[in-house]
Structure 1
Amino acid sequence: MIVTAAPFLMFQGACEAALTLYVQVIPGARIVSLEKKPDGTVAMARLAIAGLEILANDSPPVHDFDFTPSTSTFLTVDTVEEVDALASALGEGGKTMMPPGDYGFSPRFAWVQDRFGVSWQINAA
């Protein structure tokens, strides 16, 4: 029997910085727990965004891969202004896949990859 299921973000030394950004710019986001290894990297962390718990850590081995934009966290917000603000804050130093705009399926939508490589789709309800 599966007891829990949660998305998992594996960083390579930037986990704490990424989680700090998320709690600073995503309203209501919070770090539930954060355990560090002796070298200061993150052994395991739990981030909560709108009731979704996301697990994260800094990988002990270095990998030759990182995040792909095809896996993303989809945020639904109340206003077009919130889309713009989140796209700006999360996309700073990263990459814009779809700038904030009306793409026909939403009054305002944006898709950005943050400076850590994590992809976010942001949609106005």
Structure 2
Amino acid sequence: MKSLLPFLTFNGNAMEALNYYKEVFYDLDVEYLQEYGPETPELTGKIMQAVISLNGQQIMLNDSSLPEEFNFTPSMSFYIECRDLNEIELYYRKLKRNAAILVPLDEYGPGRHFAHVQDRFGLSWQLNFSK
């Protein structure tokens, strides 16, 4: 196996999601971005393929070229181990805007803070900080 990457397919709002995640995560880098070209005018401004890096973890994303709608589910989530309490609070505050809070940020057990949020694009994020 050469590599294994998460691949996220959006329904026409991948660019909006990409810009949103750049605001949420201070260590997100866009490594590659290709939009659909003139041969597919109905997809103008949409992402054909992008690779982002979030704290060194590469993730691919695109907008679906099919009329079928794709949805994300909380059964698959990104798990983030935060460096400190300030970081988990920052991510939680940003991700919970227009989101579904599946598990609110709180202390669950001695020295363990946790939250599970499904953001406005449907992606789920588990945030954890353990002292």
User: After TM superposition, is the score higher than 0.5?
Assistant: yes
**Conserved 8 A contact 2:11-2:70:** no
3-state SS of paired residue (1:20)? helix
**Conserved 8 A contact 2:104-2:116:** yes
Superposed, 1:10-49 pairs within 5 Å as 10-38=9-37, 39-49=44-54
Instruction: Give the letter aligned to residue 32 of structure 1.
Output: E
Match of 1:83 among 85, 88, 96: 88
Question: Cα distance, 1:5 vs. partner?
Answer: 0.7
Q: In the TM superposition, what whole-angstrom CA distance separates every residue of 1:9-34 from its partner, at most 9, and x where no partner exists?
A: 11011111111111211121111111
Tell me, yes or no, if structure 1 residue 117 matches structure 2 residue 116: no
TM-align CA RMSD:
1.4
3-state SS of paired residue (1:108)? strand
Query: How many residues get paired?
Result: 124
**Conserved 8 A contact 1:42-1:57:** yes
Unaligned 5+ runs, structure 2: 38-43
Larger Rg: 2
TM-score by length of 2: 0.88
Question: Cα distance, 1:94 vs. partner?
Answer: 1.4
Give the percent of matched residue pairs that are identical in Structure 1 and Structure 2. Answer: 32
Unaligned 5+ runs, structure 1: none
Question: Cα distance, 1:51 vs. partner?
Answer: 1.1
